[in-house]
Amino acid sequence: MKERYKLMWLVIIFLGCYFIPWDAPLIRSSGLEAFMMLREYAREHVLTCLIPAFFIAGAISVFVSQASVLKYFGAKASKLLSYTVASISGTILAVCSCTVLPLFAGIYTRGAGIGPATAFLYSGPAINVLAISLTAKILGWKLGLARAVGAIVFSVITGLLMAFIFRKDDAARTTGKIYVPDSEDVGRTLFQDTVFVMTMVLILIFAAFAKPAMGSQGLWPLIYSMKWYITAGLLVALLVMLKAWFTIEETRNWVDSTWGFMKQIFPLLVIGVLAAGFLLGRPGHPALIPDHYVQSLLGGNSIWANLFASVAGALMYFATLTEVPILQGLIGAGMGQGPALALLLAGPALSLPNMLVIASVMGAKKTFVFCLIIVVMSTIAGMVYGVIVG
């Protein structure tokens, strides 16, 4: 089957090279924009976001016991506990829709129920304290509050719906498809494993810490000015723990697991970023689909404007915090308040690149339902909000 997929991709690439009119100015500029977006992605997110996330996923897969994952995220775990932990995770991890993927893959493959896992998948990029505070500051407190409340509610509802729809699949995974490791003494305590993983989480947080707005004061600019010193200190602490607490074999298994996630996820991200750049371009840089077409469809508060905002947001790739200046420009061009919220709720949590990766982790059917739930709820929330503030 894998060889068939390889052949299919080779045929698609060949047909694209043969039939796409690359000499046309629009196609040529869109192709350039695709690679410009890929360059921007590589410079701003691979080293500081994705690489730490891959190592965290590898550590979860190798060092975190399956019993611990099932205790907090398993299909039979307490719903209050699992959905609370999943829904507040975004307040800790300021990650984008692509960076959260290795973490999602890590807990899902360790046996997490599809409900808590997809709640975590949505909440990671959606419930971001920095993004919500920036939204309130630049776009108004009403939109910031609506985004915060909507994101928390969405993560729980999405998880509950996914758990209900695919309850039979979850039951099958629980009864016979989960690998249970040997219960041998690894010479470490649960506290040590927790500290090790949390140190990598802190590295991810500080390495990806966003630059504050011009003129900002307080704790945020201070942390940003010290982010690399803090990250370097955490890396040193991580190396000390690795040498003191882990064997060479365990370290090798960790690296192998990390590489496995990278091979599965990274190529699909590259394909998705190229496709998004070719079709939609970067902010202020039009591509195959012109910006004015998007803006003309987002005015008012009709069901179609909110639906289009949700679908467009779901397909576009938003790096952490970049959705705010993008929306600022769209609102200035006539975008309605309802569609703005719809895009804020669908955009950061979904993108064309992460859809491809999610499908490789939990299958195309579950991915379609997950995306459909978010798009529908975002559309409804946008219409309701548009009526309230309109």
Is 22 part of a structural domain of the chain? Answer: no
- 294 versus 111: the higher-pLDDT residue is 111
- 54 versus 339: the higher-pLDDT residue is 339
Both tokens assigned to 207: 């390495």
pLDDT score at 70: 55
Residue 181 pLDDT greater than 50, yes or no? no
Count structural domains, the chain: 1
pLDDT score at 128: 63
Mean pLDDT of 202-220: 75
pLDDT score at 379: 94
Instruction: Summarize pLDDT for 125-152 with one digit per residue, the tens.
Output: 777 655 676 677 777 888 888 888 888 8
Domain membership of residue 45 as a residue range: 28-176+187-389
- The helix/strand/coil state of 301 is coil
Is 18 part of a structural domain of the chain? Answer: no
Is 76 part of a structural domain of the chain? Answer: yes
Both tokens assigned to 82: 């699992």
- 174 versus 47: the higher-pLDDT residue is 47
What is the rounded average pLDDT for all residues in the chain? 78
Percentage of the chain exceeding pLDDT 70: 77
Other beta carbons within 10 angstroms of residue 248's beta carbon come to: 7
pLDDT score at 180: 40
CA–CA gap between residue 82 and residue 198 (Å, rounded)? 18
DSSP one-letter string for 310-328: HHHHHHS---TTTHHHHHH
pLDDT score at 184: 46
Is 105 part of a structural domain of the chain? Answer: yes
Kindly report the pTM of this predicted structure.
0.62
pLDDT score at 123: 81
Is 5 part of a structural domain of the chain? Answer: no
Q: Which of 49-63, 206-220, 257-271, 306-320 has the highest mean pLDDT?
A: 306-320
Is 182 part of a structural domain of the chain? Answer: no
Residue 185 pLDDT greater than 60, yes or no? no
Is 199 part of a structural domain of the chain? Answer: yes
Instruction: Summarize pLDDT for 284-334 with one digit per residue, the tens.
Output: 677 887 767 766 777 778 898 899 889 888 887 766 556 766 676 677 657
pLDDT score at 329: 61
CA–CA gap between residue 179 and residue 110 (Å, rounded)? 8
Is 16 part of a structural domain of the chain? Answer: no
- The helix/strand/coil state of 272 is helix
Q: Where are the beta strands (DSSP E) in 32-173?
A: none
Give the CA distances from residue 137 to residues 128, 224, 307, 321, 346, in Å, rounded to whole numbers and listed in that order.
Answer: 14, 18, 26, 12, 20
Instruction: Summarize pLDDT for 79-92 with one digit per residue, the tens.
Output: 777 777 777 665 55
According to DSSP, residue 334 is labeled T
